Every structure is written in structure tokens, then in C-alpha cells.
Amino acid sequence: MEATLDHVVLAVRDLEAARAEYVTLLGREPSWRGCHPAFGTRNVLFRLRNTYLELLAPDQPGGPLADVVQAALHERAERPFALALAVPDVARAVDEARARGLRVGDAAAGEGRDDETGAVRTWRSAFVDPETVRGVRLLLIEHTTRPDALPVAPFAGDPRAGCDAVDHVVVFSDDLDASLAVWTERIGLGVAWRRDFPERATRNAGLDLGGTIVELIERTDRAPSGRPDVLWGVAYRVLDAAAAAARVGAAGIAVDPVRDGLFPGTRVATVRWRRTATLLLEGGA
């Protein structure tokens, strides 16, 4: 499939609380605040340079997506929920995915409406059965409105201290080789790099999703549990890691001191909060 990362979906229990904390983390105001009447959910979107972040909350009990989000959250405030893959022709992508052994629902029309402006965005999307991709929720999406229908999230301060883009998303796997086979053979992604980190007891591989990386990580110090793969974290690219960490820390969110990253030329800072595992990353390719 010809696919790129369209957006990252984070399920949240309290949408307004999550919105406020992500404004602080990203250093940007939302692009969109809206609802999906047909799905029973509400959302807040932050469009970054290469993708966008969706905070998704249940709104109407009994809604077809609301109940799935609620079940995924269980008792948590937030949980990484899904990756949406942008495709130029969703009907064709569904056929190709099925031919590669994935179970995919039929493409269906979707619509979102912005609460403040009344603007409407439309798309066609299809859900992939998580059991056929080792447990990760994937959505194939073809937007049917112009890309600028979702405006870029405006910076709330110095752009050098804000989040510019998503560098990579992290998926933990019990079986790196099996997960690699799914992502390369069934989804069609290329392997950008592979590296073992004995000092961290991990085996890692990066898959290229249209310029954004899906990083698969297997722990080597634990016996396989047989559990599904877990969408776990997001690394945001920043222009100045020290400035970004200082800004977030000053706003009351704990951040580790900036340190050298795993790859040459990178500097990173880990955010310590109750939400999705988050890394601020400067430098690199």
C-alpha cells in the first residue's frame, strides 16, 4: 500500500483536561475542536508539520466508536488508541490490504464539524482488524476535503521551544521478527534501520511510514507473554530540546534533564506525566 502517517489517535477520558495539557506539551493551540455525531465521540486536533494529533473522547454512550474508546480506556485517563494511515484511494487500499491477508472493513464516509467555526471536514476510512496486525489498531483514511481544511496548530510562544512534528511512534512487541513481517509484508513498509541495544535489553527496528518512523521494540530481558503488540509512545521533534524541556517544566509538567539520544547528533528529554509516554527530540535526520 502507498501509505503515510495521517495522524495519531490518543483516547482520553476528559477531553478538556487533555486539551489543556497538550497545549502545554506542544506549545501550540488546537487546530480543531469538534465532534463525530455518527460515532458518538468528540475530539481535539493539533496539526503539526508532518501529521496531526487527535485527542478522542467518548461523548454519547452507545455510539459505535464511543464504546470502543471507553473500553480501551478502562480506568485510565489516556491511552494510545490508533494510527491512521493516509492512502490516496481507500477503496483500492482496502483491496490491496485484503489481498495481503489483512481483514479490513468496507470503506465508509465520515464527517467532523468544528464547534467554533462550523467548518466541516469529510473523509472515507476503513478499520483494520487488530488481530491481523498483532493487536495494533490501524485506520486507512482518504480525505475528501482539502488539506488546508485542517489548519496548522498555531504556536503559543517561541516556535523553537514548541513541538514541530512527530518524529516517531513506539510499538512494543513480544516478537520483533513477527511484527516486522506484518508491517513489511502485509502493510508494505520498508525497514529504515535495525539496531540492538544490549545495555537497554532491547532489539529495535524503525519502519518508514512516509517519512515518519514506526519504532518496534522487543524487550530481551523478559520471557514472551504472548500479549498483542502495544502502541506505547510518541516522540515529538523540536528545534531546541533544552528550550522545549524548560518551557514544559516551567508549566508544571515534569521533564528529565536533556541528554544525548541513542543516535548520533540527537538530544532528547523524557516527559514524566500521567499521559502517553512522550519524548522531546532534537536533531538527527
State pLDDT tens for residues 65-121.
999 999 999 889 999 999 999 999 999 999 999 999 999 999 999 999 999 999 999
**Exposure string (b/e) for 21-55, b if CB count within 10 Å is 16 or more?**
bbbbbbbbebbbbbbbeebbbbbbbbbbeebbbbb
Which residues share a beta bridge with 256? none
Are the CB atoms for 102 and 77 separated by under 8 Å?
no
SS3 12: strand
- What is the predicted pLDDT for the residue at 38? 84
- Tell me how far apart the alpha carbons of residues 225 and 153 are, in angstroms, rounded to a whole number: 40
> In the prediction, which pLDDT does 60 show?
85
- Residue pair 180/205 in contact (Cβ under 8 Å)? The answer is yes
Q: Which cell is 40 given?
A: 458518538
* Cβ-contact 97, 104 below 8 angstroms: yes
Contact indicator for 77, 183 with CB cutoff of 8 Å: no
Decide if 279 contacts 233 (C-beta within 8 A).
yes
pLDDT of residue 201: 96
Q: Give yes or no for residue 222 having a pLDDT over 90.
A: no
In angstroms, the CA 259 to CA 141 distance is 37
Q: With bands split at pLDDT 50, 70 and 90, how would you rate the model's confidence at 285?
A: low
The span from the CA of 166 to the CA of 212, in Å, is 7
Q: Which three cell numbers stand for residue 159?
A: 516556535
What pTM did the predictor assign? 0.96
Contact of 20 with 78, CB cutoff 8 Å:
no
